[in-house]
């Protein structure tokens, strides 16, 4: 099975390279929300799709999340999205997407491939492509824009699979 996953990821790399489209000059946020929007502006942008929840904090990054989108379709797959606000300014800084369901077999590897194809179609080839099979299987893709950093990660070790997509404010690039 490890060999199958490796072959899938190598095939993906070749396909993505051939499939690459032109990269936009910049991406400021995601799907109608822009970095620096307030809670109220974000809630208004998503309307009834935004679920308000008890805030979760990430003290290390100085962020909190109290807005959840329970069903977001990306690359033909269902995800949940947590919108993270800066604890000091109360403005949007990051959006974290995780698959909505639990994986079966190598489902997240296939989802990674479909999601990457979708992102390449919209944002061009990634700026960073890393794939490894030691000790498990991992893949990371990054798209870097003046306003936004898009990071997609896949990890499989033994019987555990993880998939994560993060859009975040790329303020470091603007400094």
Break the chain into its structural domains and give their ranges: 2-174
Do residues 9 and 116 lie in contact, with contact meaning Cβ atoms separated by under 8 Å? Answer: no
Closest-CA residue to 30 (of 8, 16, 45): 45
Do residues 148 and 35 lie in contact, with contact meaning Cβ atoms separated by under 8 Å? Answer: yes
Which residues does residue 144 pair with via DSSP β-bridges, in sequence order? 149
Cα–Cα distance for residue pair 85/95, rounded to 1 Å? 9
Cα–Cα distance for residue pair 27/84, rounded to 1 Å? 18
**What pLDDT, on the 0 to 100 scale, is given for residue 9?**
45
State the residue for tokens 């307030």: 38
**What pLDDT, on the 0 to 100 scale, is given for residue 21?**
60
| pLDDT tens series, the chain, 175 aa | 554 444 444 444 444 444 446 888 999 999 989 999 999 999 999 999 999 999 999 999 999 999 999 999 998 889 999 999 999 999 999 999 999 887 676 788 888 999 999 999 999 999 999 998 877 789 999 999 999 999 999 998 887 889 999 999 998 765 5
Beta carbons within 8 Å of 165's beta carbon, 6+ residues apart: 74, 79, 96, 97, 98, 115, 150, 151, 152, 153
- Within the chain, what is the greatest distance between any pair of CA atoms? 48
**What pLDDT, on the 0 to 100 scale, is given for residue 103?**
67
Closest-CA residue to 144 (of 129, 162, 160): 129
**What pLDDT, on the 0 to 100 scale, is given for residue 175?**
59
Cα distance between the two ends of the chain: 45
């Amino acid at each position: 099975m490890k060999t199958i996953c490796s072959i899938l990821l190598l095939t993906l790399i070749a396909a993505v390279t051939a499939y690459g489209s032109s990269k936009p000059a910049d991406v400021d946020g995601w799907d109608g929300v822009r970095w620096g929007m307030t809670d109220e502006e974000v809630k208004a942008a998503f309307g009834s799709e935004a679920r308000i929840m008890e805030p979760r904090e990430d003290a290390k990054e100085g962020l909190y999340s109290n807005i959840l989108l329970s069903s977001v379709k990306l690359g033909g797959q269902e995800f949940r999205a947590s919108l993270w606000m800066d604890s000091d300014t109360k403005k949007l800084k990051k959006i974290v997407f995780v698959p909505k369901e639990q994986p079966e077999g190598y489902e997240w590897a296939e989802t990674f491939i479909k999601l990457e194809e979708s992102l390449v179609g919209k944002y061009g080839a990634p700026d960073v492509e890393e794939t490894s099979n030691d000790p498990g299987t991992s893949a990371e893709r990054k798209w870097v824009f003046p306003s936004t950093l898009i990071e997609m990660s896949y990890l499989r070790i033994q019987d555990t699979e993880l998939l994560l997509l993060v859009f975040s404010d790329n303020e470091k690039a603007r400094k």
